[in-house]
Structure 1
Amino acid sequence: MVVQVVLVHGIRTSATMWRAQVAHLQERGNPVTAVDLPGHGTRMDETFTLDGAFATIDEAVQDAATRGPVLLVSHSMGGLVSIEYVGREDRPPVAGFIAASCTAVPRGLGLATYRFLARRFDSLPDRGLWLSERVLSRTLPAETREDFGAGGYAYDAQDVALRSLSVLDLMSALARIDVPLWFVNGQYDQLRVNEKLFLAVAKHAELVVVPRTTHLVTAMRPHVFNALLDVAVATLERERSDD
């Protein structure tokens, strides 16, 4: 059976952030589903809730699992939510998991500071869109530069989503994950802060640090990230052939 891939975006962005990965997976013959979480992309008019996010991921995973082993790939906020999802006690049908740019425990001073900075950014003229576009134009290659904002920016969902992350029990979830797990971080990613802790708790995890890359590792180095997708898909294919 062919490996199925489900992609979960990060905060403020949408399924469009995965365009380079979707094209790559389709070219290699792996069916792929990129979801929009509540309050994001095509669902901008909805309110973000953790239950809604879990339900969105689960619906895509359960559907994909009817056709083959599922590789779940998530970024940033989507990665944190997906860790909780993959590591829940009633194990979902996920055969492998890539968690990108999400090795930070979203609690305490760190989360409070991040929310404060996000609110300050949101208070800028045009909600800081001009600054976001300038940063992206200077850091992302032309082939992915438009992808992060193509589905719109979920400004209204941002603080709600960030606040909700504090209830996640990531360490317990990580300890329960018993499928191949890859943490992928950019060298200069601010969410590497608890990288060693995550790696110590997760029993089946590997860490890949992409040089000269920030938090937006999927878009800044799309060919590198796509190569990591190939490794994960090949790993699941090999495991399935060994069964």
Structure 2
Amino acid sequence: MLREVTAVRYVTPFREGGSLPGLMEACDLGTYVAKFTGAGQGRKALVAEIVSGELGRRLGLRVPELVLLDVDPVLGLAEPDQEVQELVKASGGVNLGMDFLPRSLGFDPLAFEVDAELAGRVLWFDALIGNVDRSWRNPNMLMWHGDLWLIDHGASLIWHHNWPRAAASARKGYDASDHALLSFRPDLAAADAVLAPLVTEELLNEVLALVPDAWLADEPGFESPEDVRAAYVGQLAERMRGPRDWLPEVPR
């Protein structure tokens, strides 16, 4: 299970993201980038954050720790920004927190080097989850203590926004033409050999078990959160079956 912590102070908003995440202090003395259930993207963005982030972690990629962050709406009252007040007020209860990496630097492909093996693993992972938000314009990666960290996976698993048509996209190819690591000649063959055997239904079930029931409840077409979890597992497992022709062609 993900750790559960209670927010004790809203520190500052992050204006870079459209969902208006905020930096919050918690009862464990940690600081977290809070992603709110009341944001415009809704709870599915938070589901994608957990499923993709925790899957990436189990594949050996660096993802900041994710926690379930309990937020009291009263914490927003001291904020002078009415938009922040309304967002926190609409997000009472369990939200998502991502461990804040102090003094980290946004990844710039012109300023940092990434070896072909790691670039291949990140690209393979993004192709699996259909991450459309790792472009050179917006890499959603940080450099921290000399290591590459992956953040912000709320735009992945795009098929879960239309479950009736999800199965038809299970084999959909991944467009890597704008991927932030394409210039590092990612070794997809090596990544596939190592990572594909790890993505089992057992692993997928383990990851989906981390998603709170409340974020899966009342999904049209499903009777229970467990049915929704099974649909996520089935979609990703189908993507892993047979030839992985959804992997992009990359120059070597």
Instruction: Please tell me the TM-score bracket, short chain as reference.
Output: under 0.3
- Greater share of helix: 1
The structure with higher relative contact order (CA 8 Å, sep 6+) is 1
TM-score (norm 1): 0.26
TM-score (norm 2): 0.26
Which structure: larger Rg? 2
